[in-house]
Amino acid sequence: PAIVMLDEATSALDTQTERNIQAALQQVCKNRTTIIVAHRLSTIINADEIVVLKEGEIVERGRHEDLIAAGGTYSVMWQLQLQSNEDEKESKEDEKQSNDEISAEV
């Protein structure tokens, strides 16, 4: 097809699986118009154009780098997702360390 539409295609996936699927989708969508609906911004950072909607209205549009530099809605969302990912990573590391300590005590 000339147009491919992906609606939250990787929203329920872990980060590594998402990366693997993104790589495959890049090949499938090559030379096609691709519309991606996503809340997980890592899935759209390589898009030619990102359109940011808020309450049904377009509030920003542009490339990832430009939207980050503009410091608007997209940039705030990006920072929140980065922080959330860091918190999740730290939580997993703390859990692993606790499990290692419990194993060492047994």
Write the CATH number for 31.
Answer: 3.40.50.300
Q: How far is CA 8 from CA 5, 13, 35, 85, 95, in A?
A: 10, 10, 11, 18, 29
Tell whether pTM > 0.75: no
At residue 47, the pLDDT reads 92
Q: What is the pLDDT along the chain (106 residues), one digit of tens a residue?
A: 799 998 887 777 787 888 888 888 888 888 999 999 988 898 899 899 999 999 999 999 999 999 999 999 999 999 999 887 776 666 666 666 666 667 666 6
Report the b/e string of 2-35 with b at 16+ CB within 10 A. eeeebeebbeeeeeeebeebbeebeeeeeeeebe
Q: How many domains would you assign to the chain?
A: 1
Q: Are 62 and 70 in contact (CB under 8 A)?
A: yes
Q: Are 65 and 49 in contact (CB under 8 A)?
A: no
Domain housing 70: 3-105
- The alpha helices in the chain, defined as continuous H runs, are 15-28, 64-70, 73-105
Contacts of 30 (CB under 8 A, 6+ apart): none
pLDDT digits (tens, 9 = 90+) for 38-53: 888 988 998 999 999 9
